[in-house]
Amino acid sequence: MYGYSEAAAAVLRKVKAGIGDRVRILRGSTVYEGILLPRPEAGDPDNIVLKLDSGYNIGIKCKGAKIERVRHEETKPSEQIGLERWRAGLKRALSFDPGKPTITILHTGGTIASRVDYRTGAVVAAFTPADIVGMFPELTSIANIRSRLIRNMWSDDMRFGHYALIAKEIAKEIKTGVDGIILTHGTDTLHYTSAALSFILQNLPVPVILVGAQRSSDRPSSDAGMNLICAANFIAKSDFAGVAVCSHASSSDTTCWILPPNKIRKMHTSRRDTFRPINTEPIATVDYKSGKIEFVTSTYLKKDKLRRLKVMPKMEPRVAILYIHTNMFPEQFDFYRKAKYKGLVLAGTGLGHMPLHVVDEITKIHAKIRNALQKLTKTCVVVMAPQTIHGRINMNVYNKGRDLLALGIIPAADMTPETAFVKLAWLLGNYPRIRVEGLMRKNIAGEISERTIGVNI
C-alpha cells in the first residue's frame, strides 16, 4: 500500500485510512494530525507519513501508536463545479490584451514553479500559463503571460550544455517579439547560470530575469510569488535590457533587488534574501506592493527591440575550481595537468595566495607544489580568484603574489570564484588561448568593478 510495510498498511486498512485522508496519531503523550501521504522512496516503510497543518511532513513509527481516521477526502460535485468556474475565470484572464506587454516564463525547475497537492502530498509541477496564473493571479494585471518548460531538474545537475540550451530557447522567444523573459531556476547554482548567460547572450534587446525561490509555494513564508511578481513588474515598467536576477532584498516581504548576474552569490542555505551583491550594488529595487522601481545605477543597457541578439554558447568543459587550503600536496595540481584540463580557477587566500614558500623542514613539500604549478601553467590557463568573496585580488603587494604572477597565474580582479570559473570556460570555448589572458583581465559583461564598493559583511 503506497510503499508502506505490510505492518503499517494493515494498521491503515484497519481504520479505513487512505492517501489524502485526515489522520490523527497518538504516540505516547503526543498527538499528530494531518493528511496521510504516500511513503517517500527513501523513507522507513514502517513510518506513517503525515503532512501537518504547518505544511511540513513528518514520519511517525506505526508500532505502538494509536491511529484513527478523522475525515475521508473525496471530490464532491459542488467542488467540481467550483473548479470548473475557476478554470473559466483563468481562461478569461489569460486572453491576450494588446495594451499589456508580453512576458514569457521559461522553466528549468526549482521550487518556484511547483505546488503541493494537499490530497496526495506530492509536489506537482506547475508550468503552463494556467498553472502559473492560478498560483500567482496578480501577474495578469501586469502582462500577458506565456509559459513553457525547458527542463525540470535540480539546479546542481546543470551542465554547460544546459546553458546553451537555455540560451537557444531565450533566443527563440526574443524572435517572437516578447517584451521580456523570466527564467525560473533552482537557487543552489542560479548564480552560475546567470553569470554564464551574461557572457553567452550578447546585445540583448530585452530583459532576461532569473528568479528562484528558497521556500516552496505551498508554505506561508514562500518567496516564490513575490520574486516572480517583482520580476514581472520590473520587465513591464522599466527600460532595462540584459540579464539580471530578482530576489528578496531582506527577510521581509517588502522589496526585491534586481541584481547584476555575474556579481552575486548565494550566501545562506535557507534565508529568502540569500542572494547578495558582491563588490557592487544592486541594479534596482522593486517595491512588492506598489510595483515601484528605483534604479540604484544609471549605467545599464536599455531596451531596444531593433538590437540584434548575438548568442555565443560554446564553453570549454574541462575547467575547474580548486579551493586553496593549508596542507596541500603537489598531486592536487598534477591531477589537472594529467587529466588535460584547459582551465583552472584557484580560490586563493587573502589577496591571492597559496602554499608556495619553503620556510622550514615541514614546508619542503612546497617546492614540489611550485614545480607542479609551473608545469600546469604550460598546458592550462590558471586564474586566481578571492576565496574571501568580498574584496579584490592584488598579487603585487607581497612577494608570494609576485612569485605566482611570474609563474603565469592570472588575477581575477574582484570576480567571485564562480564567475571567474564560468568566464574562463566561456573564453576558452570561444577564443584561442593566446587571447584568453588579456580577456580575463578585461571587463566584458560587468563582471569586473572599476572600484570595489565596501559592503556590510
Check 51, 263, 266, 342 and give the catalytic one. 266
What nine digits make up the cell of 207?
530583459
The residue from 108, 184, 187, 416 that is catalytic is 187
User: Is position 188 annotated as part of the catalytic site?
Assistant: yes
Q: Active site includes 266?
A: yes
299 is catalytic: no
CA dihedral 117, 121, 125, 131 (to 10 degrees): 10
Helix (H), strand (E), coil (C) string for the chain: CCCCCHHHHHHHHHCCCCCCCEEEEEECCEEEEEEECCCCCCCCCCEEEEEECCCCEEEEECCCCEEEEEECCCCCHHHHHHHHHHHHHHHHHCCCCCCCCEEEEEECCCHHHEEECCCCCCEEECCCHHHHHHHCHHHHHCCEEEEEECCCCCHHHCCHHHHHHHHHHHHHHHHCCCCEEEEECCCCCHHHHHHHHHHHEECCCCEEEEECCCCCCCCCCCCHHHHHHHHHHHHHHCCECEEEEEEECCCCCCEEEEECCCCEEECCCCCCCCEEECCCCCCEEEECCCCCEEECCCCCCECCCCCCCEECCCCCCCEEEEECCCCCCHHHHHHHHHCCCCEEEEEEECCCECCCCCCCHHHCHHHHHHHHHHHHHHHCEEEEEECCCCCCCCCCCCHHHHHHHHCCCEECCCCCHHHHHHHHHHHHHHCCHHHHHHHHCCCCCCCCCCCCCCCCC
Find all residues with CB under 8 Å of 366, minimum gap 6, and list them: 355, 356, 357, 358
Q: Which of 46, 188, 334, 403 is catalytic?
A: 188
Return d(Cα 263, Cα 165) in angstroms, integer. 23
Our answer to whether residue 334 is catalytic in this structure is: no
Active-site residue set: 111, 187-188, 266
